[in-house]
Amino acid sequence: MNTLFGEKKEGATKIVLKSVDEYPEAPVSLGTTLSNFTGDWRTFIPVIDDEKCVKCYICWKFCPEPAIFIREDGYVGVDYDYCKGCGICANECPTKAITMEKEEK
Amino acid sequence: MEYKPIRKVVSGNYAAAYAVKHARVEVVAAYPITPQTSIIEKIAEFIANDEIENIQYVPVESEHSAMAASIGASATGARAFTATSAQGLALMHEMLHWAAGARLPIVMVDVNRAMAPPWSVWDDQTDSLSQRDTGWMQFYAENNQEVYDGVLMAFKIAETVNLPAMVIESAFILSHTYDVVEMIPQELVDEFLPPRKPLYTLTDFDNPISVGALGTPSDYYEFRYKLAKAMEDAKKVIHEVGKEFGERFGRDYSQMIELYRTEDADFVFMGMGSLMGTVKQAVDLLREEGYKVGAAKVRWFRPFPSEELYELAKNVQAIAVLDRNFSFGQEGILFNEAKGALYNTDAKPLMKNYIVGLGGRDFTVNDVRKIAENMKAIIDKGELDVEVDWYHLKR
Ligand code: SF4
Ligand code: SF4
């Protein structure tokens, strides 16, 4: 099975294919746009308040990038390699558990 | 099983429909457009009469949707087919890039028809040649037999190199004219064209994929290279599949340019599609009259047979390129390609471009004779009169 970039490895910040031979025949990827690191687009960053979160996973559903993941304790976390800071999660969260804050870089 | 052809008298469009049936196509998505209409009508009739099994016919509302549905079907691993013509093909244009970029071996018949305005339903190659840069392979059929054979071979070639392919036939001259076509018994087609083995499939739920994801500047370029390479590699596959077809069924398609009486020719006529039938007949007559002429029929325009053209060009004094098409602001499209392909070689025959038959204008054996007389005068003088000749123009 040809996959575009495989799965993102633990701790890796970027998956880079070094030669044309490493590329699959067709531009098809496993799961989603895993190779497309949209994290550096961000100006605002979502901050999640676990106290308010009711684990409805609406944010996970609506996030347009593979950024929201479900933690082992059932609460949600954000993968900052992918979170582009669009604020959709904050807008959709029914309990206002997510706020967008200006990111200090 | 011994090969005994089944002879049927069919139009070019029906020849295409029978080939679709024999190729065991699984999805046909199409919108009717003249003169393609009878291809899909015949396929619909096959389905209505239970003459084809395991096929989905998707009647769509436009050619853009026809290609979109074909792309979706092909991405699930199905063998997909559609057909169109002229403005319909133009409407598909965006999706044609998509099919090639996603490396989906869809086969489509385009019934060559002039672009409007003025409105026209007659033969002209500008519709298909306008799609030159979409990444589709292009096969130009001379007659109904080549439409049938072309569709079967196109599936095999397309599914080997994972590129889509267009089989192109002339409006009315082939699409609606009846001729004897030798068809291949189903079992033998099955041996020649086994079920498709897709590169990837959307319906492999254990290995979910996304097709058409974003390609950033760090990756897009490599995928273009892969596409370019697949097109180059297709030349070898075309040769092999064409040879195999000849060995199995007696009609050899191993050459991307079919040469007719060119061995000792002083000059040759080069062109594509049905007009080359007329040219071959004219060559026979001209040979009797003492002209040492031959015909070079370009079967595959994409990938372009540069190497075969070079082999031809180094042995002739001149080439008359007959273009039933035109690229505005420049010249005939085949002429442009052929000159370009020879530029960095030592083969430099005199080359003249005759624009013929646009919008269905009749092109006859007598026209070929007049062109031969003109070519002879050019060769004797050693230089061109004009480079691009609007041959039929009322002056
Ligand atoms: S800000 Fe946008 S990209 Fe980031 S986690 Fe929320 S929805 Fe996803
Ligand atoms: S939408 Fe809000 S409440 Fe629901 S899981 Fe996400 S953060 Fe928690």
Under a CB-based contact definition with an 8 Å cutoff, are residues B5 and B183 in contact?
yes
Task: Kindly state whether residue A9 falls inside one of the protein's structural domains.
Answer: no
pTM assigned to the model: 0.88
Which residues of chain A have a CB within 8 Å of the CB of B211? Answer: 26-28
Q: Please state, rounded to an integer, the average pLDDT across all residues of chain B.
A: 97
Query: How confident is the model at residue B342, as a pLDDT?
Result: 98
Task: Kindly state whether residue A1 falls inside one of the protein's structural domains.
Answer: no
Query: How confident is the model at residue A2, as a pLDDT?
Result: 32
Amino acid at B175: S
- Counting from 1 in the atom list of ligand 1, the atom nearest the Cα of A38 is 3
Distance A97 CA to ligand 2 centre (A): 6
Q: Is the pLDDT of residue B129 over 60?
A: yes
Query: How confident is the model at residue A33, as a pLDDT?
Result: 57
Q: What is the 3-state secondary structure (H, E, C) of chain B?
A: CCCCCEEEEECHHHHHHHHHHHCCCCEEEECCCCCCHHHHHHHHHHHHCCCCCCCEEEECCCHHHHHHHHHHHHHCCCCEEEEECHHHHHHHHHHHHHHHHCCCCCEEEEEECCCCCCCCCCCCCHHHHCCHHHCCEEEECCCHHHHHHHHHHHHHHHHHHCCCEEEEEECCCCCCCCEEEEECCHHHHHHHCCCCCCCCCCCCCCCCEEECCCCCCCCHHHHHHHHHHHHHHHHHHHHHHHHHHHHHHCCCCCCCEEEECCCCCCEEEEECCCHHHHHHHHHHHHHHCCCCEEEEEECEEECCCHHHHHHHHCCCCEEEEEECCCCCCCCCHHHHHHHHHHCCCCCCCEEEEEECCHHHCCCCHHHHHHHHHHHHHHHHHCCCCCCEEECCCCC
Q: Which residue's CA is the nearest one to ligand 2's atom 3?
A: A53
Q: What tens digit of pLDDT does each residue of B47-94 get?
A: 999 999 899 999 999 999 999 999 999 999 999 999 999 999 999 999
Q: Find out whether the peptide bond into B303 is cis, omega within 30 degrees of 0.
A: yes
Task: Kindly state whether residue A66 falls inside one of the protein's structural domains.
Answer: yes
* Confidence bin at B170 (pLDDT 50/70/90): very high
Q: What tens digit of pLDDT does each residue of B15-56 get?
A: 999 999 999 999 999 999 999 999 999 999 999 999 998 999
Q: What tens digit of pLDDT does each residue of B316-360 get?
A: 999 999 999 999 999 999 999 999 999 999 999 999 999 999 999
* pLDDT mean over B174-179: 98
Which domain CATH number covers A48? 3.30.70.20
Q: What tens digit of pLDDT does each residue of B287-324 get?
A: 999 999 999 999 999 999 999 999 999 999 999 999 99
Domain residue limits at A55: 33-100
Give the whole-number percent of chain B exceeding pLDDT 70: 100
Minimum mean pLDDT range among B117-131, B196-210, B380-394 = B196-210
Q: Which of B222, B225, B233 to mutate to test the interface with A (most CBs of A within 10 A)?
A: B222
Task: Kindly state whether residue A53 falls inside one of the protein's structural domains.
Answer: yes
Q: Say whether residue B116 is in contact with chain A using an 8 A CB cutoff.
A: no
Query: How confident is the model at residue A14, as a pLDDT?
Result: 53
Q: What tens digit of pLDDT does each residue of A37-75 get?
A: 788 899 999 999 999 999 999 999 999 888 898 899 999
Query: How confident is the model at residue A34, as a pLDDT?
Result: 58
Q: Which of B104, B197, B199 to mutate to test the interface with A (most CBs of A within 10 A)?
A: B199
- Counting from 1 in the atom list of ligand 1, the atom nearest the Cα of A100 is 1
* Confidence bin at B172 (pLDDT 50/70/90): very high
List Cβ neighbours of B262 (8 Å cut-off, separation of 6 or more).
Answer: B268, B294, B295, B296, B312, B315, B316
| Among A88, A91, A99, A101, residue to substitute to test ligand 1 (most atoms within 8 Å of Cβ) | A88
Counting Cα atoms < 13 Å in the Cβ hemisphere of A39 gives 14
Q: Which residue's CA is the nearest one to ligand 1's atom 6?
A: A89
- Domains held by chain A: number: 1
Q: Say whether residue B102 is in contact with chain A using an 8 A CB cutoff.
A: yes
Predicted complex ipTM: 0.84
Torsion B142-B144-B146-B152 (CA) sign: positive
Task: Kindly state whether residue A6 falls inside one of the protein's structural domains.
Answer: no
Facing residues of A89 across strands? none
Distance B42 CA to ligand 2 centre (A): 55
- Counting from 1 in the atom list of ligand 2, the atom nearest the Cα of A57 is 5
Give the whole-number percent of chain A exceeding pLDDT 90: 50
* Confidence bin at A15 (pLDDT 50/70/90): low
Task: Kindly state whether residue A13 falls inside one of the protein's structural domains.
Answer: no
Q: Find out whether the peptide bond into B195 is cis, omega within 30 degrees of 0.
A: no
Q: Minimal Cα distance from B209: which residue of A? A: A30
* Confidence bin at A35 (pLDDT 50/70/90): low
Task: Kindly state whether residue A15 falls inside one of the protein's structural domains.
Answer: no
Q: What tens digit of pLDDT does each residue of B219-277 get?
A: 889 999 999 999 999 999 999 999 999 999 999 999 999 999 999 999 999 999 999 99
Task: Kindly state whether residue A5 falls inside one of the protein's structural domains.
Answer: no
Query: How confident is the model at residue A1, as a pLDDT?
Result: 28
Specify whether the backbone of B54 is left (phi greater than 0), alpha (psi in -120 to 50) or beta.
left
Give the whole-number percent of chain A exceeding pLDDT 70: 77
CB contact under 8 A, A28 and B102: yes
Query: How confident is the model at residue A10, as a pLDDT?
Result: 52
